[in-house]
Each structure stands twice: as C-alpha cells, then as structure tokens.
Amino acid sequence: MLSLRVMSNPIKRILSGGQSGADRAALDAAKDYGVPHGGWIPKGRRTESGDLSERYCLRETNNIGYPQSTRLNILESDGTVIFSHGEPAGRSALTQELARSSSRPCLHMDLSEIDTYKAVGIIRDWIDVKGIEVLNITGPTENEDPYIYDAVKGVIRSVLSPPPEQFPRPFPRTVEAAVDQLIQWLSLKEKTRIANMTKTQLTGLPPTVGPYVRDHFGLGRDNAELMASCRAISGETVLSEQSAQMVIIAALWKELRHTHGLRRLK
C-alpha cells in the first residue's frame, strides 16, 4: 500500500501480459511509481476476467491466444520474473519454457518458500547481475491464485523503491518520528486509503509497508532506540521486528484517521 515519491532504480520499464493477478499487480506497481509500462496482450485486449482497460498501455497481438503475447513479452524484455505459490503452471509454465528455449534470463520466485523481504533482495541482485532495465513479470491469474496480486504488488513496489541510502538520516528514534517520515513519503491517495481502512484490513499492510520500515528506519539492531519506543507503546518487554513494524503501522493509521479519514478517493 505504500507509495513513495522518490525513486532511484535501474528498471526503466515494466512489461506484462495484462492478465489479472500477477500481471496486473506488476503494472499497477509500475504506475504507482511512475515507471513506464507496456507489453503484449491477445487480440481484443483479452483477459480471463474481461477486456483490459485502456488505461494500461499494452499492445494487441494479431490472434486471441496467449502463446504469442507471452513470447513477445519475453523477447522484448531483458529478463522475466515468474511469481507463484508453488510450481509454475499453465501460462507461467509456458513462460518458463519459452524463456529457456529463447535463452533469455528468467527467474522463478516461489512465494510460498520465501518471504517478501528475501524475494526483494534476490530480485534486486538478479537485476544487477543480469543488467535488467526492461523487466517482464508474470504469474497466476486471480482465479488461479487469489493471493497472488497483493503478494506480487508488495514485492515489485519494494523492488522499485529507493535503496536505504537514498533516504534521510539520521534514522527516526521514536514511533512518532517514524510516522512523521512515512506521512511525508506517502501520496495523498495512499494516506487516504490507509486512513479509511478497518483494523482488520490494517493487518494486511505489513507485507507491503514492512520492508520500507525495516530497511529505511534501521529497525532492529541498527536502531535500538526505535525498538525501545515500539516496546514502550506496546507495553511489551520483548518485541519482534515484525511486531514493532505493526506498532508503527498502527500509529500511522491512528494519525491518518485524524487528518485523512472519510475523504473520497478519486
């Protein structure tokens, strides 16, 4: 859910096939960060969930099948990342096969085996080693995996976010200071969205916001004072990094409820 205004990363363009789930998550993450996006989609802007909106800048192939658009997205990118929960299947398996037969870089990320933070690190290292500037992303549709959209969007947003050295120092030493920095970096739309979440919905933020808090605030051993502030607010004498992240997120939510609650999203 986090959208930062500053961006410095090697990715110049994101491609995908426009399907729901992983494909659409990649395109939405690119749009959030102002990264150009594109790709090929079957004739008629065909997806399994209906015709793709014109707000996505994808080109149509001359047939209604998926193999042609899948191949073109592989060939027009510098490398492909395939996301899944488990082994690739269907269009994802086809992508893997076509990438290998075309001798194009391809990375499979099984998000049931690795957490978001590690996935981001692996992808960033792979991008650096392979010199990736145009990145193709694919994976299951929402019908095939209802959890894939949020998982992929969280990873890609983190991949596109600035490295820690791009952020101001010193680290925030209190939860209040951390919340102030997050509010400065969030877009108005994201602040309003978070403000109008329920407590139940708020628990879905850590996979997306957590990596930013951990990397950019030095949460843990690098920022013992912030951890102490989180413990003081929570009332717990022992607090994990994940629980500390939730303390900061909850404080952010409470602050935004006062300043951005009940606004309409455009």
Question: Among 42-56, 179-193, 248-262, where is mean pLDDT lowest?
Answer: 179-193
In this structure, is residue 210 part of a structural domain?
A: yes
Residue 73 lies in a domain: yes
Whether the predicted pLDDT of 1 surpasses 60:
no
What pTM was estimated for this model as a whole? 0.63
- Residues found in the chain: 266
Same domain, 57 and 134: yes
- Tally of domains within the chain: 2
Q: For position 119, which CATH number holds?
A: 3.40.50.450
Q: Are 147 and 192 within one domain?
A: no
Asked if 30 and 88 sit in the same domain, the reply is yes
Helices 206-216 and 116-130: crossing angle in degrees, nearest 10, is 70
Residue 175 located in a structural domain:
yes
Are 57 and 31 contained in the same domain? yes
Mean of the pLDDT values across residues 108-126? 87
Last residue of a domain, one of 160, 182, 199: 160
170 and 190 fall within a common domain: yes
Q: Is the dihedral of CA 46, 47, 48, 51 positive or negative?
A: negative
Residue 150 lies in a domain: yes
Q: Is residue 7 part of a domain?
A: no
DSSP assignment letter at 90: T
Write the DSSP assignment of 108-129 as a string of letters.
EEETTTS-HHHHHHHHHHHHHH
pLDDT surpassing 50 at residue 77: yes
**84 φ, ψ to 5°?**
-165, 170
Choose the final residue of a domain: 133, 160, 187: 160
* Chain segment 14-55, per-residue pLDDT in tens: 999 999 999 999 999 999 888 999 999 999 998 888 889 899
> Are 152 and 27 members of one domain?
yes
29 and 133 in a single domain? The answer is yes
d(CA 52, CA 229): 46
Question: How many angstroms separate the Cα of 16 from the Cα of each of 30, 36, 56, 135, 139?
Answer: 11, 12, 10, 9, 10
Question: Do the domain assignments include residue 184?
Answer: yes
Structure confidence by residue, pLDDT tens digits, 213-238:
777 788 766 789 999 999 999 999 99
- Give the single-character DSSP code of 87: S
Let me know if residue 1 belongs to a domain. Answer: no
Q: Indicate the pLDDT class of residue 195, thresholds 50, 70 and 90.
A: confident
Residue 49, CA distances (Å) to 46, 52, 57, 150, 232 in order:
8, 8, 18, 17, 48
Give the other-Cβ count within 10 Å of 125's Cβ. Answer: 11
The predicted model gives 94-116 an average pLDDT of 94
Q: At what angle do helices 241-260 and 175-185 cross, to 10 degrees?
A: 60
Question: Domain for residue 5, yes or no?
Answer: no
Same domain assignment for residues 20 and 147:
yes
Boundary residue ending a domain (105, 131, 160) = 160
- 76 in the same domain as 146: yes
**Higher-confidence residue: 158 or 146?**
146
190 and 203 housed in the same domain: yes
Mean pLDDT of the region 190-200: 84
- Same domain, yes or no, for 26 and 147? yes
Where residue 266 falls among pLDDT bands split at 50, 70, 90? very low
If one compares 189 and 4, the residue with the highest pLDDT of the two is: 189
Residue 139's domain comprises 13-160
